[in-house]
A and B are shown apart, each in its own frame.
Chain A
């Protein structure tokens, strides 16, 4: 096995495919994305249609007309649930993109430049790390207009600390490699070395981190929406929970208004976590087994064993 632990995306895919948990996570995430993209075709009703409701339409239990019943406003829960995937995933992807970009840039700069720059950047990271994210997010969202863009920005701007520390650690290890000194001897400057020599080796780590940050961002968005700080114009899963919780779904026994959004959140978060862990193991196979572990050497020996020489003794091997 002459494979590099970091290089070769085909090798990563091959190892990921052999990781059942990672593949389940990937399948779950693909399903969620598919649902979000196909929501207009999958959902039985138009979520923005103006409907006339009577008292009887509120919290209707599941029926052929409304598979998952209706909510407090008499709207179809299944439709809301399918469209809610769009909001959650949008927030997840954009916020984690912002978070990983900031964290990556800071971590890369701190780890590579060292000295005073590193001191300032990492103290800043530490401060951001100890401030509890959620109360701060609540305050900021409450002070600004609660729109989807603002929620994405707040979650993204608060969620980069873990990435920064992770990327910094990896950068510090890559920085010690001889090829960095060689690049300097060639006459390359800091920016060039960071971009062309360090970044490609830190990138796989950032990809894994992105997947994990997506789940965090989705959870944060749900929490903010549940607390009533969501964008009132869009209906996310957190918001569905908020409405159901505050408008008497519990006392009405309308479990169908609570379970679908909760299930959606768990589904996407679980998908990201499984896929993230699978990717982590695929990118760094040493996490799975030690390269000298007994079972590994056994399988490779078995493959290398010479075929038995006597012809009668070779069972079904032609």
Chain B
């Protein structure tokens, strides 16, 4: 299936994106380097990596909502061929939520505690569409709540009157308020128990099919990615480690980091097996090792790894990995 959708022009095209965090007396921290991926209409892409690998920075860059210290140094983000990084603030504000919406991590904090849930969903609609009629607005909000399985009567309630799962569903309803093309789901199931987690994922999968949504799923849980995503982008220390369709990632990972991540994931067929942790800690962006960023923790290091960051090699046309060991299987550097 991924090959079939790859042929159409992509909905979102991110290429060679570099982002720094600046803190004047200190040298800038390289938060993102050379991020390149595409997203097709209706596709779900999983973005996986540990804390601090740049997942959230990447999401905020797409919406151009980086904190004050963030600088987009190079690269391009194209939505339907339009360069988002060149838009002025007004055009960007008009595009947020209308085209790219976001489901935030931790719904309790993403909802204002002193305003009703309905009011906050209506906020997005009022912002982008010319709905002034109070009754029409109420109807829209009720429909959205209904879509995610919340009784419309709970529109008037405050976030603290909702359960954790309901709050997350309300966040999803909010994300869908303006029928966006792309929904960014930032760890949508963190802090929810397994049952609710499954419900939320099922809901996302259903909505994706119903509404032809493209989803960017940011997570550190490979299990969730397997359930929902067509393709997977594995990030490590601000660079792309591996980018391929989900099947390839799970069965033929080429990057040692992806392999190590998969080994750290429980295998239901071998319950007695101990999980393999990845030794060491993720790199500090201000203190990167020379050469490949994964060298301090990589089991396959050889001399060349210390000399340069490996480029992305195309293992197959639809499978890229940034590891010198992948060079032998591919014809040459892809990017």
B115-A200 in contact (CB<8A): yes
* B158 proximity list for chain A (CB < 8 A): 4, 7
Q: Residue of B at shortest CB range from A180?
A: B112
Q: Which residue of B lies closest to A114 (CB)?
A: B68
Tell me, rounded to whole Å, the shortest Cβ–Cβ distance linking B169 to chain A: 15
Specify which of A2, A4, A115, A188 is in contact with B123 (CB 8 Å cutoff).
A188
The distance from the CB of A230 to the nearest CB of chain B, in whole angstroms, is 42
| CB-CB contacts below 8 Å: A191-216 with B | 196-197, 200-201
The reply on B285 being an interface residue by CB < 8 A is: no
What range describes how many residues of B lie at the interface? 20 to 34
Check B112–A179 contact: CB distance below 8 A: yes
* Pick from B95, B123, B161: contact of A183, CB under 8 Å: B123
Contact of B111 among A179, A184, A186 (CB under 8 A): A179
* Nearest-neighbor residue (CB-CB) of B105 within chain A: A178
Q: List B residues 98-123 near A (Cβ within 8 Å).
A: 98, 101-102, 104-106, 109-115, 120, 123
B104 CB contacts on chain A under 8 angstroms: 178, 181-182, 185
Q: Which of A178, A187, A200 contacts B97 (CB 8 A)?
A: A187
How far, in whole Å, are A6 and B2 apart by their CA atoms in the complex? 50
Q: Scoring B residues 219 to 243 as 1 if CB is less than 8 Å from chain A, else 0, what string do you get?
A: 0000000000000000000000000
Cβ contact within 8 Å between B102 and A182: yes
Q: Is A52 among interface residues, defined by CB-CB distance under 8 A?
A: no
Q: CB-CB < 8 A to A4: which residues of B?
A: 113-114, 158, 160
- A187 and B111 contacting across the interface, CB-CB below 8 Å: no
B160-174, CB < 8 A from A: 160-161
CB distance from A172 to the nearest CB of B (A): 13
Q: Note all chain A residues with C-beta closer than 8 A to B127.
A: 186-188
Find the A residue at minimum CB distance from B92: A187
18 further A-B contacts with Cβ under 8 Å, apart from A4-B113, A177-B109, are: A4-B158, A6-B113, A115-B68, A178-B104, A179-B111, A179-B120, A182-B104, A182-B110, A183-B112, A185-B63, A185-B101, A187-B95, A187-B96, A187-B97, A187-B98, A188-B127, A200-B114, A201-B114
The residues of A with any CB-CB pair to B shorter than 8 Å are: 2-4, 6-7, 114-115, 177-179, 181-189, 196-197, 200-201
A-B contact pairs, 28 of them (CB 8 A): A2-B160, A3-B160, A4-B158, A177-B109, A179-B110, A179-B111, A179-B120, A182-B102, A182-B104, A182-B110, A183-B112, A184-B65, A185-B63, A185-B65, A185-B97, A185-B101, A185-B102, A185-B104, A186-B127, A187-B93, A187-B96, A187-B98, A187-B127, A189-B93, A196-B115, A197-B115, A201-B113, A201-B114
